[in-house]
A = this chain, B = another copy of it.
C-alpha cells in the first residue's frame, strides 16, 4: 500500500464508472486494431482508407463526398484529398451526378472490391482469433450494450 494516499486522491480522482467504461473501450479497440492495421499495411492501406472503402462497398450506387465526410467527421477538403489518393490507385471512381450536378458521387471500383475481398478472410480470422473466446452469448451481450451506448449519445 502506498503512503501517499493523501496526495494521490488530490491529483488522481477516483474514476467513475462512465470513465472506466470509456477507458476500457479505448484500450480494447486499440489492442484489437493493431492486428488489423498490420494486415492493412500489407495492402498499403490506412485504416481511414479501409473504412471508406467498406462504406462504399455497402452502397453500390455510390455516395456524395459530403455524405462520406459526415460519416467520419472530417472536413470536406480533407475528404477530397482522401478520395484523390484512393482514385489515383483506381480503388474508387468519381463522377458528377446528373440530377444535382453539384454533387460528385464516389463509387468503389472492381479493383477496390477485389482488394476488400482479399482482406475479408484474414480480417475475419483476426477477429475470430482475438474475440472468439468470448462465445456467442457474451458477444451478443457486448454488441447490444455498445449499441445501446451509442443510441443515446448526443
A-side residues, CB < 8 A to B, are 4, 11-13, 16-22, 24-29, 31-34, 36, 57-58, 60, 73, 113, 116-117, 120, 123-124, 127-134, 136, 138-143, 145-150, 152-154
Contacts and interface: CB of A to CB of B under 8 A. Distances in A.
Contacts of A27: 146, 150
Given A19-B123, A20-B139, 19 more contacts: A11-B57, A11-B113, A12-B58, A16-B127, A17-B139, A17-B143, A18-B131, A18-B134, A21-B134, A21-B143, A21-B146, A25-B25, A25-B32, A27-B150, A133-B152, A134-B145, A142-B142, A142-B149, A145-B145
Contact of A31 (B36, B138, B141, B150): B150
A133 B31 CA distance: 26
10 contacts: A13-B120, A20-B143, A21-B127, A24-B146, A25-B25, A26-B29, A28-B150, A134-B148, A141-B141, A142-B145
A31 B142 contact: no
Nearest to A37: B73
A103 B154 CA distance: 45
A22 to B, nearest CB: 5
**What are the 9 tightest A-B residue pairs by CB atom distance, in nearest-first order?**
A24-B146, A18-B131, A18-B127, A17-B139, A29-B29, A142-B145, A133-B152, A28-B146, A19-B127
